[in-house]
Structure 1
Amino acid sequence: MNFFYVLNGKLVKQVFLVVIAAFFTAWFLYMENLVNVPVFSGKNGPKAIYKGEKDIALTFNIGWGDEKAEPILDVLKAENVKTATFFLSGSWAERHPTIVERIVKEGYEIGILGYNYEDYTELDEAKVRKDLIRAQEAFKKLNVKDIKLVRAPTGHFDQKTLKIADRLGLTVVHWSIDSKDWSNPGVEVIIDNVSDAKKGDIVLLHASDSAKQTAQALPSIINKVKNKNLKLVTVSEMIANANADSKEIN
């Protein structure tokens, strides 16, 4: 009789483990299929978006230089890509009003890449706020209106940055795919770094002069996206009317 109870005890334990495993598998699949925009956030604070729910957004950071931005624009035009988001530093925009005008005229979205290239996590609140306001003023003078998106100049941000941006009417945008084009690892490597992009991904690219291979890699990147039957959209289009899921940051 004791042996009988031991067997049943083991059986119950096994069934319990199977049920728990099934529950967590179902829960994981359910969460995977929720329509949401993953974000970084504080517990109850503003959020930084790094991924959308559908399509793909190509984003280009420009902080310095005057040689690579227009070739990037030329490629986008040649490939008939009418939607992309350019994050421009305010200081660069002031020095290159003609290129800024072209970006706007060709219908691309503009976001703020701060004013100076500074790590916001190393600045106090007043300096972060001053940098962002200075950038906003620079774009207003260039007649670029209603900018709603910002990217931390170095990619580093914290809850302080999120709160300040939110007070200024800005949403912080990160990325889910890093092309690493800034390191000039080779055209094929850049293409490969973006090749796994899927629906909802925000791709980080650069159009500063340090990114010497981006224009060459871009046609293949665009073709790979199109071959996946995915639409290229701006970040704002990607996140419009989407629900948000949060990931806490310190």
Structure 2
Amino acid sequence: MNFFFVLNGKSLKQFVVIVIAAFFTAWFFYTESIIQIPAFSANDGPKAVYRGEKDIALTFNIGWGDEKAGPILDVLEQHKVPAATFFLSGAWAERHPDLVKRIVKSGYEIGMLGYDYKDYTELEEAKMKQDIMKAQTAFSKLNIKNIELLRAPTGHFNKTTIKAADRAGYTVVHWSLDSKDWTNPGTDAIVETVSKANKGDIVLLHASDSAKQTAKALPGIIEDIKSKGLKMVTVSHMIANAESQSSEIK
């Protein structure tokens, strides 16, 4: 009889250990998934997109400068990149109508980067809407009338930004991978950073003059993406053809 209870005691201890281990394993993966997901949505309201489920989207911010956008377009065209999304400030677009037309002619998508370089988290909703509408007017004069995507000029946004953009008819787009190209860390470093991209990623790059090494890094970036068998798409295509991901923003 005693032997019977000893066996059951051991079995009970083993069962408890297994349950505890399973609990901590589940907790680990749960917390890890939270850490990996940026917080980019306004609860049950409109959301800011930062990644999709498949394909990959190269995005380029342009807020100022005259020299780097052309060479970047040259590389994209030379390597037959089928799709990319350019987020342009309205002020820059006004000063560079020929480059805006070239982006459209190349088949690339245009998103809005506001008008002036302002931190939307520091603006009241009315001032933010004013900046958005000013940019909208600038693009309309260039016959660019179907813009649906907006990226906060400085990359900083909050619930007010998301709601204001939604009311103006735009979806806020962030990114899941920052190339850090604007820090000019070296061509190889930029390629190495972007090589971490995988399916569903929205990659942040720049075509402003401050990003001096992006054009030289692009061939390596494109080659790596093709070697992974990833399809390069616009952000709009990614949103339309897969579940975009978001989570609550405070």
Normalising by the residue count of structure 2, what TM-score does the alignment of the two structures yield?
0.90
Judge conservation of contact 2:49–2:246 (CA < 8 Å) in 1. Answer: no
Structure 2: tracts of 5 or more residues without a match: none
Amino acid at match of 2:115: Y
Judge conservation of contact 2:50–2:244 (CA < 8 Å) in 1. Answer: no
Q: Following the alignment from structure 1 to structure 2, what is the Cα–Cα distance between the partners of residues 190 and 242?
A: 27
Amino acid at match of 1:212: K
Judge conservation of contact 2:50–2:245 (CA < 8 Å) in 1. Answer: no
Q: Following the alignment from structure 2 to structure 1, what is the Cα–Cα distance between the partners of residues 14 and 74?
A: 67
Q: Counterpart in 2 of 1:114?
A: 114
Deviations 1:164-191 (Å, cap 9, x if unpaired)?
Answer: 0011110111011111111111111111
Q: Counterpart in 2 of 1:101?
A: 101
Q: Counterpart in 2 of 1:50?
A: 50
Deviations 1:121-178 (Å, cap 9, x if unpaired)?
Answer: 0111111110011111111110012100000000000000000001111011101111
Query: Secondary structure of 2:51's partner?
Result: coil
Larger CA deviation: 232-241 vs 54-63: 232-241
Q: Following the alignment from structure 1 to structure 2, what is the Cα–Cα distance between the partners of residues 19 and 180?
A: 39
Amino acid at match of 1:53: E
Query: Secondary structure of 2:72's partner?
Result: helix
Q: Following the alignment from structure 1 to structure 2, what is the Cα–Cα distance between the partners of residues 196 and 243?
A: 21
Q: Following the alignment from structure 2 to structure 1, what is the Cα–Cα distance between the partners of residues 225 and 195?
A: 8
Q: Please state if 1:11 is matched with 2:7.
A: no
1:132–1:191: structure 2 CA closer, same or farther, 3 Å change rule? same
Q: Counterpart in 1 of 2:127?
A: 127
1:208–1:19: structure 2 CA closer, same or farther, 3 Å change rule? closer
Q: Following the alignment from structure 2 to structure 1, what is the Cα–Cα distance between the partners of residues 228 and 180?
A: 22
1:218–1:245: structure 2 CA closer, same or farther, 3 Å change rule? closer
Q: Counterpart in 1 of 2:60?
A: 60
Q: Give the drift of 1:38.
A: 8.2
Q: Following the alignment from structure 1 to structure 2, what is the Cα–Cα distance between the partners of residues 73 and 244?
A: 27
Larger CA deviation: 73-82 vs 11-20: 11-20
Q: Following the alignment from structure 1 to structure 2, what is the Cα–Cα distance between the partners of residues 120 and 38?
A: 18
Judge conservation of contact 1:177–1:201 (CA < 8 Å) in 2. Answer: yes
Q: Following the alignment from structure 2 to structure 1, what is the Cα–Cα distance between the partners of residues 243 and 149?
A: 17
Query: Secondary structure of 1:248's partner?
Result: coil
Q: CA RMSD in A?
A: 2.2
Amino acid at match of 1:72: I
Matched residue count: 241
Q: Following the alignment from structure 1 to structure 2, what is the Cα–Cα distance between the partners of residues 76 and 245?
A: 27
Q: Following the alignment from structure 1 to structure 2, what is the Cα–Cα distance between the partners of residues 245 and 210?
A: 30
Judge conservation of contact 1:38–1:244 (CA < 8 Å) in 2. Answer: no
Q: Following the alignment from structure 2 to structure 1, what is the Cα–Cα distance between the partners of residues 181 and 103?
A: 21
Query: Secondary structure of 1:226's partner?
Result: helix
Query: Secondary structure of 2:246's partner?
Result: strand
Amino acid at match of 2:19: F
Judge conservation of contact 2:177–2:204 (CA < 8 Å) in 1. Answer: yes
Query: Secondary structure of 2:40's partner?
Result: strand
1:245–1:233: structure 2 CA closer, same or farther, 3 Å change rule? closer
Query: Secondary structure of 1:65's partner?
Result: coil
Q: Following the alignment from structure 1 to structure 2, what is the Cα–Cα distance between the partners of residues 66 and 143?
A: 21
Structure with the higher strand share, 1 or 2: 1
Q: Please state if 1:220 is matched with 2:212.
A: no
Structure 1: tracts of 5 or more residues without a match: 32-36
1:96–1:245: structure 2 CA closer, same or farther, 3 Å change rule? closer
Q: Counterpart in 2 of 1:166?
A: 166
Q: Following the alignment from structure 1 to structure 2, what is the Cα–Cα distance between the partners of residues 16 and 192?
A: 41
Identity score, percent? 62
Q: Give the drift of 1:48.
A: 0.7
